[in-house]
């Protein structure tokens, strides 16, 4: 072999080794790039599609800060609560005080009803929602049942009621209310049964006697539903439907009470009342929507 051919063979080997080395370096570079976890391909965003929309005018600063901090879920919830505060009025703790008188039962007594209840009630309106109420009144009765041989009388006797109403229309003006409520009533009273006629057919005896000075008491509960509507200035009219039941009453060995003041006939479960009320506001200004901070970005 000549010197020229030997030199050519060595050159080819050098070239092959150089090519292999370069290929190995390129392969290592690609492998290192694939193993770097922090590098990501980011698609460029066009400037016109990456604009930050300003919040609506009047948005609370707290909500804006929540959006900026990334707490979007809480920001949306707070925005909803804020919108409700804008829509609904917020009434003070002591909204108003109503004084009313029941006029339905005395009117029915004039038209022939055999008993009457009349009372004065005071109702404190709190937040235009909860309404503690108390009632003081008198009840009396005189009844001679058809086909019966006696007359029942109840002298004017006091009764007392305490309870609470819930205004279902608390989001609206106090001038218009839909009410549900509970009452607890109590009455101590006296009654008599007179002109009792008794005939003994066997001995052919005729007796007439009176049962006087009878005393009793009663404790009962009521559930009520009704409406209250302002008709002029501070004057309102209220209707209540009563569903009631007796917890306990004082029994008498001679005669059970037929009528209970403030309740009505002992065997009844329904009652109705119509009241005229005068309302005294307990706050100076009309309620307004909750204030919000207006922020312009």
Domain ranges of the chain: 57-87, 94-281
Over residues 192-222, the pLDDT tens digits come to: 998 877 666 666 666 677 888 899 999 999 9
Query: How high is the pLDDT of residue 4?
Result: 55
The CA–CA distances, whole Å, from 207 to 192, 198, 254 equal 17, 5, 16
Averaged confidence pLDDT in the chain: 79
Residue 267: is its pLDDT beyond 70? yes
Distance CA 265, CA 263 (A): 7
Considering only residues 255 and 199, tell me which one the structure prediction assigns the higher pLDDT. Answer: 255
CB 272 within 8 A of CB 264: no
Over residues 67-112, the pLDDT tens digits come to: 565 555 666 666 666 655 555 567 888 999 999 999 998 888 888 8
Outline where 129-238 has alpha helix (H). none
Residue 177: is its pLDDT beyond 50? yes
Query: How high is the pLDDT of residue 31?
Result: 60
Query: How high is the pLDDT of residue 191?
Result: 93
Query: How high is the pLDDT of residue 201?
Result: 66
H/E stretch holding 260 reads strand 259-260
Percent residues over pLDDT 90 in the chain: 46
Distance CA 23, CA 41 (A): 26
Task: Kindly give, in sequence order, each residue whose CB lies less than 8 Å from that of residue 226, ignoring residues fewer than 6 positions away.
Answer: 178, 179, 238, 239, 240, 241
Query: How high is the pLDDT of residue 97?
Result: 96
Query: How high is the pLDDT of residue 103?
Result: 93
pLDDT band at 17 (very low <50, low <70, confident <90, very high): confident
CB 90 within 8 A of CB 263: no
- Domain 94-281 is found in CATH 3.30.70.20: no
Burial of 78 from C-beta contacts in 10 A (0-12 / 13-18 / 19+)? middle
pTM for the full predicted model: 0.65
CB 227 within 8 A of CB 238: yes
Residue 232: is its pLDDT beyond 60? yes
Over residues 112-162, the pLDDT tens digits come to: 899 999 999 999 999 999 999 999 999 999 988 776 778 899 999 999 999
Best CA proximity match to 87, nearest among 25, 3, 171, 199: 171
CB 297 within 8 A of CB 55: yes
């Amino acid at each position: 072999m000549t010197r020229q051919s030997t030199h050519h063979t060595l050159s080819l080997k050098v070239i092959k080794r150089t090519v292999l080395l370069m290929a190995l370096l390129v392969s290592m570079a690609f492998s290192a790039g694939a193993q770097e976890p922090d590098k990501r391909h980011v698609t460029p965003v066009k400037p016109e599609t990456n604009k930050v929309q300003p919040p609506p005018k009047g948005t609370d600063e707290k909500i804006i800060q929540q959006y900026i901090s990334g707490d979007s879920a809480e920001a949306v919830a707070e925005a909803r609560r804020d919108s409700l505060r804008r829509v609904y009025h917020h009434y003070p703790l002591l909204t108003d005080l109503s004084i009313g008188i029941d006029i339905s039962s005395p009117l029915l007594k004039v038209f022939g009803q055999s008993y009457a209840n009349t009372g004065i009630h005071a109702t404190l309106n709190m937040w235009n929602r909860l309404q503690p109420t108390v009632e003081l009144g008198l009840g009396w009765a005189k009844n001679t049942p058809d086909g019966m041989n006696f007359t029942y009388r109840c002298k004017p006797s006091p009764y007392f009621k305490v309870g609470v109403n819930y205004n279902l229309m608390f989001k609206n003006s106090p001038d218009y209310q839909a009410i549900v409520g509970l009452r607890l009533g109590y009455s101590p009273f006296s009654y008599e049964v007179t002109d009792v006629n008794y005939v003994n057919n066997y001995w052919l005896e005729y007796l007439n006697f009176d049962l006087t000075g009878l005393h009793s008491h009663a404790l009962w509960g009521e559930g009520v539903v009704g409406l209250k509507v302002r008709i002029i200035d501070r004057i309102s009219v209220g209707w209540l439907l009563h569903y009631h039941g007796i917890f306990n009453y004082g029994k008498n060995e001679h005669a059970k009470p037929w009528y209970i003041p403030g309740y009505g006939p002992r065997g009844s479960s329904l009652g109705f009342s119509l009241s005229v009320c005068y309302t005294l506001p307990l706050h100076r200004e009309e309620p307004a929507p909750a204030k919000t901070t207006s922020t312009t970005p």
